[in-house]
């Protein structure tokens, strides 16, 4: 493991309040320091980073690696390679696999496969209920002993309020969060898109904002009652932002995440790229794009703006991808029949940088929500470039433009509504434990 000197980049480490042009030295798997100017040691590799951003490796709290059981959609090997290409050095795998990750044996399986095949660090989230069926609780203490970082039935809301209350009460003694997919099944059943003018225009049954907000309100009340630690997955509506903001002001132990797509895309994406969000423009062949079907659905532009503002205000605690790869068969069908989910890991940075370039989101704030914030949430010693920290580093060009070509994704999931669009902001290199795991072909380096 040769030393690596990353020279002349804009080093941003929100955990230390660093934002300046500097050199970063890595050696023996850890950060040695951030320097004004540092000579390269003998045998060190030098990465020229002038004009680039150098920051801690991104951490994804919420992704679907699909293994075991759905290897035709994704594997630990392909999913973590996609993560490395997206600048992520650590990911948390959701448990909605087949079988569901609700036992010690299955957690051990995922962690073993990750040690053998993963390009980045993999942490595991265990199921809240047995088989994620929403009835009896999983063996949460046993799962905690195996090292899970939280509990979720993601993809299946914990609909029974008494089960949710028990989960919050029990998990509080373990010091781990309950991560709920907040969606009232009675309101979302049969829906395919956000309830609004776009769904009406397309003749699709809508899912109202209330489907999310009713369950968010319920869970916040239960967290306040139990003292449990609640995390709202993929928050997507203005009402949810208000509920979380008010709960935090009351001292409730609640956090929430937003995804790149809910921060940057509205339900107008369902009309097709050529329609340009015009209500009465002729629909083209790119309308009804099933790659834009996701749960919760892409919301109205007003909701997107509210979630972005909440990110700026600190109501949204972190950004997580909800990377949900599917194969073509599950997307090449009618919109109603299509599986919900977007392949996100490889486009996350490019789409999020639009918030910096066009919506005045401070770059250090964006990096905080991708690095230091998820590290704090997980309680892990990652997400920083302080001396002695694990040498997990992401280097990206904030101004590089590139065209999304889903056919070249490392992920098996090619399902993205961004295919063919131009993004501004590209990962140049991803370093995990002092080892370069991904490097863009044109990256400048020297020995």
Please give the positions annotated as active site.
322
In DSSP terms, 90 is beta-bridged to 59, 121
Is 180 in contact with 204 (CB distance < 8 Å)?
no
C-alpha closest to that of 288 among 311, 270, 264: 270
CB-based contacts of 36: which residues, under 8 Å, 6+ apart? 22, 23
How many helices (H) and strands (E) the chain has is answered by 13, 19
CB-based contacts of 105: which residues, under 8 Å, 6+ apart? none
Give dist(CA 71, CA 351) in Å, integer.
27
Q: Whats the size of the chain, residue-wise?
A: 447
CB-based contacts of 77: which residues, under 8 Å, 6+ apart? 117, 118, 119
Phi-psi region of 254 (alpha: psi -120 to 50; beta: other; left: phi over 0): beta
C-alpha closest to that of 63 among 134, 188, 139, 155: 155
Report which secondary-structure segment, H or E, holds 302. Answer: helix 301-313
Q: Using the structure block, give the residue that is written with the tokens 């095949």.
A: 117
300-303 contact pairs (CB < 8 A, 24+): 300/194, 300/196, 300/198, 300/266, 300/267, 301/266, 301/268, 301/277, 302/238, 303/209, 303/236, 303/237, 303/238, 303/266
Give dist(CA 266, CA 14) in Å, integer.
29
C-alpha closest to that of 320 among 157, 41, 16, 93: 93
């Amino acid at each position: 493991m040769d030393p690596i000197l990353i020279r002349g980049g804009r080093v941003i480490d929100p955990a230390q309040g660093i934002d300046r042009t500097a050199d970063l030295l890595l050696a023996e798997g850890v950060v040695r320091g951030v320097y004004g100017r540092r000579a390269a040691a003998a045998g060190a590799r030098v990465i020229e980073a002038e004009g680039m951003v150098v920051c801690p490796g991104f951490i994804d709290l919420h992704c679907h690696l699909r293994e075991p059981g759905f290897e035709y959609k994704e594997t630990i090997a392909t999913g973590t390679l996609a993560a490395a290409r997206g600048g992520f050095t650590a990911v948390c795998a959701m448990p909605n696999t087949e079988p569901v990750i609700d036992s010690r044996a299955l957690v051990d399986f995922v962690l073993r496969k990750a040690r053998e095949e993963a390009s980045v660090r993999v942490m595991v989230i265990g199921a809240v209920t047995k088989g994620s069926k929403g009835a009896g609780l999983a063996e949460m203490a046993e799962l905690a002993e195996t090292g899970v970082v939280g509990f979720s039935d993601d993809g299946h809301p914990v609909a029974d309020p008494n089960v949710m209350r028990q989960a919050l009460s029990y998990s509080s003694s373990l010091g781990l969060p309950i991560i709920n997919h907040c969606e009232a099944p009675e309101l979302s059943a049969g829906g395919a898109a956000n309830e609004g003018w776009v769904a009406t225009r397309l003749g699709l049954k809508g899912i109202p904002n209330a489907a999310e907000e009713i369950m968010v309100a319920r869970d916040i009340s239960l967290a306040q009652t139990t003292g449990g630690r609640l995390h709202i997955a993929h928050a997507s509506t203005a009402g949810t932002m208000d509920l979380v903001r008010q709960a935090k002001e009351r001292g409730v132990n609640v956090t929430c995440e937003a995804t790149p797509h809910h921060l940057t895309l509205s339900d107008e994406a369902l009309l097709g790229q050529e329609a340009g969000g015009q209500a009465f423009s002729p629909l083209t062949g790119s309308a009804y794009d099933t790659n834009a079907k996701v749960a919760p659905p892409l919301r109205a532009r007003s909701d997107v703006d509210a979630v972005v503002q909440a990110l700026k205000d600190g109501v949204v605690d972190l950004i997580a991808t909800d990377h949900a790869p599917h194969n073509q068969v599950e997307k090449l069908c009618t919109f109603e029949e299509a599986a919900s989910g977007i392949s996100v890991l490889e486009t996350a940075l490019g789409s999020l940088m639009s918030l910096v370039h066009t919506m005045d989101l401070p770059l250090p704030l964006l990096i905080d929500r991708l690095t230091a914030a998820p590290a704090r949430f997980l309680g892990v010693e990652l997400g920083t470039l302080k001396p002695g920290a694990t040498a997990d580093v992401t280097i990206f060009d904030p101004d590089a433009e590139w065209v999304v070509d889903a056919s070249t994704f490392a992920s098996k999931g090619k399902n993205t509504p961004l295919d063919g669009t131009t993004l501004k902001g590209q990962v140049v290199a991803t370093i995990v434990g002092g080892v370069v795991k991904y490097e863009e072909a044109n990256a400048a380096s020297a020995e």
